[in-house]
Amino acid sequence: MGDATDAVYREMLRSPGIDVASLSTRLDLTESQVRDALDKLADLALIKASWDGAGSARPVSPHLGFQALWAKRQAEIAGQQHALDEARARMASLIDDYMNEYAGARGSGMEKLTDLNSVRNYLEKLAAETEQESLAFAPGGPQTEANRLASRPLLTDLLSRGVSIKTIYLESIRNDAGSVQHSTWLATQGAGVRTVPHLPFRMQIADRKAALIPLALEDSAQGALLIEEPAVVSVLCALFDMVWATAAPLGEAASADEGLSAQERELLRLLAQGLTDDGVARKLGVSIRTERRMVTKVSELLGAQSRFQLGQRAAEMGLL
């Protein structure tokens, strides 16, 4: 809220009915500063008109006030998640339409890489040619130690050339010591590392000019689509920026509500979509055993005795 606004709010809680002049005197603020603070508190719904109708203000209970602010923030997050889902669907549709119309056309700005060797070779080429910025979605949960070691020379080379690296992983890497160590190493080298409960697909973007995404969004083993068409790359960059803005930096705990982590809230959302335990586990990047433990924990937290009741409780509490 800012120091002045915070001080005004606390003084109003201590001294109900206090007027602007008294607030100004007690807090050593100008009346203009006090009125600015009151305007901000009104915008935050932390003060309301006094019951006496005399035009003065009364403070709202901190519990009620911040509960309303938190509900507003949760609604914003839900809106962002909905926007991400819509963006993913539009992206898949756009790629399908583009490929159907321009497949085989010269200069179409898209190329299929149909085997993993071709994909890995091109990733090395892309890394060598990147000059300014490397952006990546890294779903699938914790990587193997071999993959992490293999990626370090490429990452070290990029960072030594002053390339900005931003990578978004799944929340599940926070539970894997090797992945945390690797991500911490990246962060100490100057790379940006954040996590989210769920990523739409694997993606690599170089200098906001070229992108690699899976041919089959749910299965990167089937090869990749190289995209250099500016209009499509700009959409993918916008998607990355949207996810990055809501992701939790490594070292910060994911936000929680009703005792649930961001990952557990995503678990509820995926279950509500009708996904099986196996499907939810794949999207969260965890084992099926871990996913079932999470379901049990969330059910206990929400007081649900069955999957059906879990859905009911989550809906009643505004978690979906």
Place of tokens 């190493």: 185
Place of tokens 């005399």: 54
User: How are strands ordered across the β-sheet holding 110-113?
Assistant: 110-113, 219-227, 210-216, 203-206, 133-138, 164-170, 192-196, 248-249
Q: What was the pLDDT predicted at 236?
A: 92
Q: What was the pLDDT predicted at 53?
A: 46
Q: What was the pLDDT predicted at 121?
A: 82
CATH of domain 70-249: 3.30.870.10
Class of domain 3-60: mainly alpha
Q: What was the pLDDT predicted at 49?
A: 66
Q: What was the pLDDT predicted at 50?
A: 58
Domains of the chain, residue spans: 3-60, 70-249, 262-316
Please check whether the two domains, 3-60 and 70-249, share a CATH topology.
no
pTM of the full structure: 0.53
Count how many residues are written for the chain.
Answer: 320
Q: What was the pLDDT predicted at 101?
A: 58
CA distance 143 to 125: 22
Give the residue among 264, 239, 75, 115 at the shortest CA–CA distance from 168.
239
Q: Note the pLDDT tens digit of each residue in 125-163.
A: 888 889 999 999 988 777 778 778 877 888 888 888 889
Q: Which two tokens stand for residue 157?
A: 């080379």
Class of domain 262-316: mainly alpha
Q: Which residues pair with 113 in a beta bridge?
A: 224
For residues 130 and 206, the answer to whether their CB atoms sit within 8 Å is yes
Residues in the chain with pLDDT values less than 50 = 51-54, 103-107, 256
Q: Which two tokens stand for residue 27?
A: 């807090």
Q: What was the pLDDT predicted at 137?
A: 92
